[in-house]
């Protein structure tokens, strides 16, 4: 699919995510793909088991997003998995959306991650206050700001909240958000294409730079060197830098003292796991935001059973509500127990991150990590890449777009295709099943 069509679908999905409760987005929107564009018609591919429901319930929503993001006379057709574009189908260049462009397109911020939606407790109060101060006065409060804590405690939420706040109130300040995986992939690609100047300008030209998961710099000497110089250039030119990590600067493996010292020169704040009362408050707020009617008993049951992270907590609520919706039942404490048992304790803290999955998949299939992240189409590399996508979807709470960005900057449709391919192969191909089983064991999860 051409790059401009990928961007069009990303724009439409972003709008749908803003307008749709998470549990409905998870069931009905996330599985959809933009199969093709012909003239002013968008062909949206839906899995067969939800195709009719999507056409009946969500076609007006899809049309409205297409009108706003593609063409004021746009038409949307929901097609099945066997649909393919006609031979003469040449997707047109997507023009500016009917409502105007987005000067912050590069930031890729999740609009649902705001300060208003962040539930404050003793374990995260200081982090919230520091992040808000940075958003209100970039480069004047705490610079750099270093947030650390276990996965799923709200670090990414705060990074996006800072970006969204600056985007709204910053009088044109430019925001650049990226995971360290995206930084690495972009740097490697720029070196290969002899365009390192453009790469540097992309980050160093921003007023506020937000870098997620900096712990994955370990073992990447050249990327670490470029990051160090970018880091210094930003601070020396009065730009704001906010960094997140799953551990403190002192505990980051393979990090030179000079970089750790620059991290510590600003403000270092730890986020801690939420206690039971805060977990219930987080669930109650998420239910209100998503306009979901869930009893206090149900929220208490989820809060009691899921204590690892905010991400796991919200994921459990989405799964419970989604399951109840599909079964046309009301959520109850008993249904919570059934769903969480059925998921096999899927809400336990992530045993691994996206970077570990990429490394393990590359090793399992005997390919280079760089090849897996690049556009290498060799069958073995492609299989390793798809297995990494499948495991990332299964073992982490990352969304499809997040997985795609972490695996070489691919779009959500490519990730969904890879996940579906491996999901089918696990049932029919012993070699793939054995590889996935091996990776489960290596990554610390039972298949």
pLDDT tens, the chain, 447 aa long = 455 666 788 888 888 888 887 777 877 888 888 888 888 889 998 887 778 888 888 888 999 999 988 888 888 998 886 676 554 444 444 444 444 334 344 447 888 889 998 989 888 999 999 999 999 999 887 889 999 998 888 999 999 999 999 999 888 899 999 888 788 888 888 888 888 888 888 888 889 999 998 887 766 777 778 888 888 888 888 899 999 998 888 888 777 777 788 888 889 999 998 888 889 998 998 888 777 888 999 999 999 888 777 878 888 888 888 778 777 788 898 888 888 775 544 444 444 678 889 999 999 999 999 899 988 889 899 999 999 999 988 777 677 777 888 898 888 778 888 888 888 788 778 888 889 888 888 886 433
Under 8 Å between Cβ of 138 and 210? no
For residue 293, being part of any structural domain is answered with yes
Q: Dig out the tokens for 314 from the structure.
A: 């919200």
Residues 422 and 396 in one domain: yes
Q: What is the pLDDT of residue 102?
A: 40
For residue 103, being part of any structural domain is answered with no
Gap between the Cα atoms of 223 and 118, Å rounded: 32
Gap between the Cα atoms of 99 and 27, Å rounded: 28
Residues 209 and 229 in one domain: yes
Q: Dig out the tokens for 298 from the structure.
A: 């149900």
Residues 130 and 258 in one domain: yes
List all residues 6 or more positions away from 148 whose beta carbon is below 8 Å from its beta carbon: 155, 244, 245, 246, 247, 248, 249, 268, 269, 270, 271
Residues 238 and 327 in one domain: no
For residue 163, being part of any structural domain is answered with yes
Q: Dig out the tokens for 240 from the structure.
A: 């704001």
Residues 51 and 178 in one domain: no
Strands (E) located in 264-391? 267-270
Residues 135 and 74 in one domain: no
Q: What is the pLDDT of residue 166?
A: 94
- The number of angstroms, rounded, from the C-alpha of 236 to the middle of its chain's C-alpha atoms is 30
Q: What is the pLDDT of residue 101?
A: 38
Under 8 Å between Cβ of 411 and 9? yes
Residues 61 and 180 in one domain: no
The side-by-side arrangement of strands in the sheet containing 208-212 is 175-179, 208-212, 240-245, 145-148, 267-270
CATH number at residue 310: 1.10.8.60
Tell me if residue 38 falls in helix, strand or coil.
strand
Q: Dig out the tokens for 189 from the structure.
A: 């690609």
Q: Helix (H) and strand (E) counts for the chain?
A: 20, 8
CA pseudo-torsion sign 94, 100, 106, 107: negative
For residue 241, give the nearest of 146, 149, 152 by alpha carbon. 146
For residue 221, being part of any structural domain is answered with yes
In the numeric block, the tokens 């365009």 are attached to: 195
CA pseudo-torsion sign 55, 61, 62, 64: positive
Gap between the Cα atoms of 419 and 63, Å rounded: 27
Q: Dig out the tokens for 60 from the structure.
A: 């007006």
Number of domains present in the structure of the chain = 4
Q: What is the pLDDT of residue 105?
A: 41
pTM of the predicted protein model? 0.59
Residues 251 and 331 in one domain: no
List all residues 6 or more positions away from 121 whose beta carbon is below 8 Å from its beta carbon: 274, 275, 277, 278, 281
Residues 306 and 374 in one domain: no
For residue 203, give the nearest of 227, 222, 219, 168 by alpha carbon. 227
For residue 227, being part of any structural domain is answered with yes
CA pseudo-torsion sign 193, 227, 11, 20: positive
Residue 136 CB neighbours (<10 A): 15
Answer with the one of 317, 342, 367 that is the final residue of a domain: 342
List all residues 6 or more positions away from 349 whose beta carbon is below 8 Å from its beta carbon: 150, 151, 152, 308, 309, 312
Structural domain span for residue 65:
3-91
């Amino acid at each position: 699919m051409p790059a401009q069509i990928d961007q069009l679908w990303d724009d439409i999905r972003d709008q749908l995510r803003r307008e749709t409760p998470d549990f409905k987005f998870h069931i009905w929107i996330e599985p959809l793909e933009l199969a093709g564009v012909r003239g002013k018609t968008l062909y949206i591919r839906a899995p067969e088991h939800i195709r009719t429901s999507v056409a009946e319930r969500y076609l007006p929503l899809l049309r409205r997003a297409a009108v706003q993001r593609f063409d004021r006379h746009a038409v949307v057709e929901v097609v099945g998995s066997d649909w393919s574009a006609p031979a003469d189908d040449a997707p047109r260049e997507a023009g500016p959306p009917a409502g105007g462009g987005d000067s912050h397109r590069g930031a890729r911020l999740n609009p649902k991650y705001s300060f208003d939606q962040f539930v404050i407790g003793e374990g995260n109060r200081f982090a919230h206050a520091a992040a808000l101060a940075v958003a209100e006065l970039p480069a004047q409060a705490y610079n750099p700001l270093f947030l650390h804590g276990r996965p799923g405690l709200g670090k990414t939420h705060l990074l996006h909240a800072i970006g969204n706040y600056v985007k709204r109130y910053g009088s044109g300040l430019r925001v650049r958000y990226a995971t360290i995986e995206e930084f690495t992939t972009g740097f490697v690609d720029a070196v290969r294409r002899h365009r390192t100047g453009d790469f540097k300008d992309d980050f160093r030209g921003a007023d506020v730079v937000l870098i997620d998961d900096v712990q994955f710099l370990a073992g990447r000497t050249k990327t670490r060197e470029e990051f160090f110089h970018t880091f210094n250039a930003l601070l020396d030119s009065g730009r704001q830098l906010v960094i997140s990590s799953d551990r403190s600067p002192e505990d980051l493996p393979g990090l030179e003292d000079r970089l750790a010292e620059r991290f510590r020169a600003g403000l270092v704040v730890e986020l801690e796991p939420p206690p039971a009362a805060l977990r219930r408050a987080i669930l109650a707020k998420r239910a209100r935001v998503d306009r979901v009617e869930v009893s206090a008993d149900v929220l208490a049951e989820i809060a009691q059973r899921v204590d690892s992270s905010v991400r796991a907590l919200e994921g459990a609520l989405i799964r419970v509500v989604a399951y109840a919706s599909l079964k046309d039942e009301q959520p109850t404490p008993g249904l919570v127990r059934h769903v969480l048992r059925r998921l096999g304790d899927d809400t336990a803290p992530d045993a691994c991150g996206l970077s570990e999955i990429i490394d393990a998949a590359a090793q399992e299939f005997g390919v280079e990590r760089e090849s897996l992240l690049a556009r290498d189409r060799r069958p073995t590399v492609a299989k390793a890449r798809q297995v990494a996508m499948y495991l990332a979807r299964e073992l982490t709470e990352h969304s499809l777009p997040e997985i795609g960005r972490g695996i070489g900057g691919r779009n959500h449709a490519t990730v969904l295709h890879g996940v579906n391919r491996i999901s089918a192969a696990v049932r029919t191909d012993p070699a793939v099943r054995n590889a996935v089983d091996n990776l489960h064991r290596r990554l610390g999860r039972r298949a």
